[in-house]
Amino acid sequence: MRTPLATLEREALRVYARYVEEFVEAHSLCPWASRARLEGHVKPRVVMTADGSFDEAVSAVRELSADENIHVALLIFPRLSISRVEFERFTSALRELDEDKKMAMAPFHPDAQPDLSSAERCVAFVRRSPDPTIQLVRLSILAEVRRPSDEGTAFMDPSAMDLRAFLARPPKPPLHERVANANLATLRALPADHAVELLDDIRRDRDAAYARVLNEEE
């Protein structure tokens, strides 16, 4: 017989999958999300803590970090009622408690506002997951992604190079800035309120599903 917590875990994974497939991947908001998922390098993990304790989360991070096949992991907290600012602090504290330091951590939260005034402000909206969620990305994979292309590291013949033109070229923005700028352009090009309505629908789906789980417990 399925327990209420097992049902909650199933529903948390289902609504998170909606967020990833219908919002992030459907609009190409992460250049590597679909490929990593389809190649089996993404692992979502539901963490059932409801009081903000760290034991279960620390254990999950340790286990996920040890599996080199996992490039991206998600810690999903369906029972954690916490503001976005508090969850950012929770993520920072978890980062400090992680002894292995193999994974970068980024907080995602359902309370993010749809602010498209700048690429920087848009990041929180892109991370508007149905539950508080921490994205873990293996640092070695990030290093590979950020590595300069062959074009940037290839041997250049100084005698054949226009040094003045080379020095005049503007430096390429960091990868996270390029992704944020591309996401801002994508969301601004969508029909008005399309992204908000989609994320609101996923949130309503989440709330209704979790309410059914609570009814099962009574």
Given a contact cutoff of 8 angstroms between Cβ atoms, the answer to whether 33 and 16 are in contact is: no
- Domain-embedded: residue 152: no
- Domain-embedded: residue 110: yes
Task: Report helix, strand or coil for 138.
Answer: strand
- Domain-embedded: residue 138: yes
* Domain, as residue range, for 70: 4-145+162-217
Q: What are the pLDDT tens digits along the chain (218 aa)?
A: 467 899 999 999 999 999 999 999 999 998 777 888 889 999 999 999 999 999 999 999 999 999 999 999 999 999 999 999 999 999 999 999 999 999 999 999 999 999 999 999 999 999 999 999 999 999 998 888 766 544 444 444 545 555 555 455 566 677 778 889 999 999 999 998 999 999 999 999 999 999 999 887 65
- Domain-embedded: residue 153: no
Residue 142: the pLDDT is 84
Q: Smallest Cα–Cα separation from 76: which of 5, 163, 16, 153?
A: 16
Q: Residues with Cβ < 8 Å from 135, sequence gap 6 or more?
A: 72, 73, 74, 105, 106, 107, 108, 127
- Domain-embedded: residue 9: yes
Six token digits for residue 23: 């919002």
- Domain-embedded: residue 26: yes
- Domain-embedded: residue 151: no
Work out how many domains the chain is built from and give that number.
Answer: 1
Distance CA 73, CA 71 (A): 7
Q: What pTM was computed for the model?
A: 0.85
